[in-house]
Amino acid sequence: MLKEIHEQPDALRSTIMPRINNENLPDFTMDHIPNHIFKSINRVVITACGTAMHAGMVGRVMIERLLRIPVAVEIASEFRYQDPVLDENTLVITISQSGETADTLAALRLAKENNATVLSIVNVKGSSIARESDYVLYTQAGPEIAVASTKAYTAQLSCLYLIAYQFALTRGLLSVKECGDRILKFQKVIQAVEEVLSFDRYMDKIGMDLAKTEDLFFIGRGLDYALSCEGSIKLKEISYIHSEAYAAGELKHGTLSLIVEDTPVVALATQQKVFSKMISNVREVRARGAKVILITNGNPTVDQSIYDYHIALPQLEDELVVFSAAVILQLLAYYTSLYRGLNIDQPRNLAKSVTVE
Ligand code: M6R
């Protein structure tokens, strides 16, 4: 897992760079994805399982923000039994590292039966999901062996960002200049990921501290909430620590009662728009004695008394910081599990690819 975490700059480079043309615009020519599929649809449904579904949650924010069309994110095992509303104007995006996840494959088949267009983001070439989709955008993450998905996740995110930019360009919601400017900034995520890999030592120290805990919470708003879900699954699958992700605004609606002296809370506060709200939430948990691990975009001035650990990510546009933040959450899970003496690459009861229901 650690090796795969460290392979992320290369995985991102190989996924992103061949899909950017000389004018700094997204280009899916090599994937044979025609622009008309972005023109004719009025709704997007993203469906996947586990970490891939969490990538979809980030994709939803990006596509809705840029396109102003509704995007639903559905857990594939729910979607397939829900009689979903689908038609020829729906673009269904399935996401899967293995391309063999049974529920995601079933969701894809259902989408096709209902005449939706299916575009899949897949890592394994020639896998069932890749073969059955109308269009495929391959993540170029290379083989991912550890059960916990790391480099496939950030590569999936990068595909979703490229789709959102291409979609917005095709529909005239971004001008050529605006799209080019965004793509230039977008490429900086690779360097940011490289930078945070050197935070290893600090994450090791936090992991050693967290290894003693049995319950942990992740909180965030917007993109940070989507990331919280991913941070939580990563930690629980390899460290066996009970963890939950909460939209920070939900704390008052029940979760605060679970926060007692020394309960660890990972607070993601990378989004300027809701930064002060997040800091208020951190104060709320701190007042109940929480051990706070605060993650911010850059190094904003924050009262030091509200956290135990502070991770200041390389400053980027708010919408781009998910990449480096995800890597920090992976390192957090990795080191916590390491200090619990567990089999990190093959956690109990879990398989890399879930090919049965
Ligand atoms: O191969 P897939 O991406 O379709 O797998 C989906 C999930 O089983 C997978 O992401 C799982 O949640 C990971 N082990 C999480 O790290």
Tell me: do 159 and 263 sit in the same domain.
no
To test the pocket of ligand 1, the residue of 127, 139, 149 to mutate (highest count of ligand atoms within 8 Å of its CB) is 149
Among 143, 161, 186, the domain boundary falls at: 186
Determine which residue's CA is closest to atom 7 belonging to ligand 1. 50
Q: What is d(CA 98, CA 30) in angstroms, rounded to the nearest whole number?
A: 21
How many C-beta atoms surround the C-beta of residue 279 within 10 A? 20
Tell me: do 167 and 210 sit in the same domain.
no
Across the chain, which has 357 residues, the per-10-residue mean pLDDT values are: 98 98 96 93 97 98 96 96 94 98 97 97 98 98 97 98 97 97 98 98 98 97 98 98 96 92 98 97 97 97 97 98 98 98 96 90
- Ligand 1 centroid–CA 205 distance in Å is 27
The terminus-to-terminus CA distance of the chain in angstroms comes to: 26
Q: How many domains does the chain have?
A: 2
pTM: 0.97
Tell me: do 171 and 51 sit in the same domain.
yes
pLDDT at position 45 is 98
Q: Are 56 and 72 in contact (CB under 8 A)?
A: no
How many C-beta atoms surround the C-beta of residue 125 within 10 A? 11
Q: What is d(CA 93, CA 111) in angstroms, rounded to the nearest whole number?
A: 10
Instruction: State both tokens at 238.
Output: 């390899």
Query: Is 355 inside any structural domain?
Result: no
Tell me: do 323 and 228 sit in the same domain.
yes
Closest ligand 1 atom to residue 354 Cα is 8
Residue 277 C-beta-side C-alpha neighbours within 13 Å: 16
What are the distances in angstroms from CA 1 to CA 4, 6, 348? 5, 9, 15
Query: Is 351 inside any structural domain?
Result: no
Q: What is d(CA 18, CA 140) in angstroms, rounded to the nearest whole number?
A: 10
348 membership: H or E segment, kind and range: none
Q: Residue 40, exposed/middle/buried by CB under 10 A (0-12, 13-18, 19+)?
A: exposed
Among 155, 186, 217, the domain boundary falls at: 186
Domain coverage including residue 234: 195-338
Q: Which residues line ligand 1 (CB under 6 A)?
A: 49-52, 96-98, 101, 104, 147-149, 233, 237, 353-354
What are the distances in angstroms from CA 41 to CA 60, 98, 112, 122? 15, 27, 15, 22
Domain with residue 61: its CATH number is 3.40.50.10490
Tell me the three state secondary structure of residue 161.
helix
pLDDT at position 197 is 98
Q: Are 130 and 124 in contact (CB under 8 A)?
A: yes
Q: What is d(CA 311, CA 302) in angstroms, rounded to the nearest whole number?
A: 12
Q: In 3D, which of 268, 278, 282, 248 has the Cα closest to residue 321?
A: 268
Residue 204 C-beta-side C-alpha neighbours within 13 Å: 6
To test the pocket of ligand 1, the residue of 77, 124, 237, 354 to mutate (highest count of ligand atoms within 8 Å of its CB) is 354
Tell me: do 204 and 242 sit in the same domain.
yes
Query: Is 11 inside any structural domain?
Result: yes
pLDDT at position 40 is 87
Q: In 3D, which of 218, 168, 182 has the Cα closest to residue 54?
A: 218
